[in-house]
Amino acid sequence: MDKKNILLVSDTKNWGGWKRAEMIKKYCKDEFNFLMMDSEEYNEFERKTTKNAFNRKDIERYISSRSHGNDPEFLDIDNFSQWVNSTKNKVNIDLIYFLFHTMLIKKSVKRTLKRGVKVITMVTVFPVLRPIFTNNINSNMASHKFLKQANRCKAILANNKKSLADLKRIYNGPTFLAPRGVNPEIFYPTSEFAIKPESKFTVAFCGKPNPEKGLDSIIRPACNKAGVKLITNERNFEDALPEHKMREFYNSADAYIVASTMDGTPNTALEAASCGKPILSNAIGNMPEFIKQGENGWLVKLDVEKYIHRLRWMKKNQDKVYNMGLNARKTIMSDWTWQKVINNNEKQIFRKVINGM
């Protein structure tokens, strides 16, 4: 039986959605064919295609344009002939997966839905979307556009259980859970354990310098008052460190800290856990699903004093913290590798949506 064809569209390269697309392609290519684009590339591609359908020339022209840029990713299409209906010269795109929900307000996506192509999307930061779904007729234009396009999707995915439960209560269409994963062959423990002076106990933070991340409001003051060392990596997709440098960053700390009000998945927390670091976090996104209290990390209320208390305990109990880090790595290997979460979730979702559920 011919493989079905799926187009994966991420918001940008070298960031969370693109990495997810790469992993989907890696672990689902036995059953599906994939083409990957970022959001700007999709806008250009869609604009240049024929009005009523994608055809062979559209795809071949796009691939050719990418090859001139020495970007081999876009040439790596399994059995491209299967994408084409030989009698009509029409490209059969069975599903488009927009891996970031804000893409839905783009005109290119509106036109795509009018073509009749099956579309799904991923909700990554649900607290931002809740007002959009629950707004009345006076909602702003962007919210109205988003809701209209969301209702035309075949399904909406959420990356943590809390967001999925919220989404089910206010969205009438099909919903699925699709957790974030991590590659344990890239992120793994490298540092030797040694109990250090309490003043040398180190926690790491990584993320964009947004107020919602809690770096200045919670993390810095808590670390200062607790007397622990804080190391940070405040970058975005434009200057992101390569993965091997991120592995070094995580391994230079004793624990990882989160104090966010906006994340669906603190991706960096999973990477740090895979490097054998326990997680100290508030109950944001998937952290309540991952953290086993006192075993591989700690969940605390989003309050400076609560963080101070737990940080002081951690620096005084470094042997226990180390063992918690080992348990964090075990948790990743058991339930949170990319291979496991994609095979258990996205692969099943693709089958259901393409086959009409």
Q: Is the dihedral of CA 320, 326, 331, 334 positive or negative?
A: negative
Question: By mean pLDDT, which of 140-149, 159-168, 289-298 is the weakest?
Answer: 140-149
Longest dimension (CA), the chain: 73
Q: What kind of fold does domain 4-181+338-354 have according to CATH? A: Rossmann fold (3.40.50)
Residue 39 clears pLDDT 60, i.e. is over it: yes
Structure confidence at residue 133 as a pLDDT band (50, 70, 90): low
Q: Which whole number is the average pLDDT over 88-97?
A: 75
What pLDDT is attached to residue 208?
80
Name the token pair of 313: 């305990």
The tokens for 221 are: 């003051």
Domains 4-181+338-354 and 198-336 share a fold: yes
Length of the chain: 357
First to last CA, the chain: 19
Domain residue extents for the chain: 4-181+338-354, 198-336
Q: Looking at residue 136, what is its pLDDT?
A: 46
What does the block give as tokens for 339?
Answer: 């291979």
Residue 35 has pLDDT above 90, yes or no: no
Q: How far apart are CA 297 and CA 283, in angstroms?
A: 12
Distance CA 351, CA 357 (A): 8
84's CB contacts (< 8 A; 6+ apart) are 56, 90, 91, 92
- pLDDT value at position 153? 92
Dihedral of CA 285/268/341/80: which sign? positive
Return the closest-CA partner of residue 97 out of 72, 117, 80, 78.
Answer: 117
In this prediction the pTM is 0.86
CATH architecture of 198-336: 3-Layer(aba) Sandwich (3.40)
33 neighbors 6 (Cβ within 8 angstroms): yes
Q: Determine the pLDDT at residue 143.
A: 65
Which has the closest alpha carbon to 259: 311, 210, 218?
A: 218
Q: Give me the phi and psi of 196, to 5 degrees please.
A: -105, 165
Sheet holding 155-158, edge to edge: 32-38, 4-10, 95-98, 119-123, 155-158, 175-177
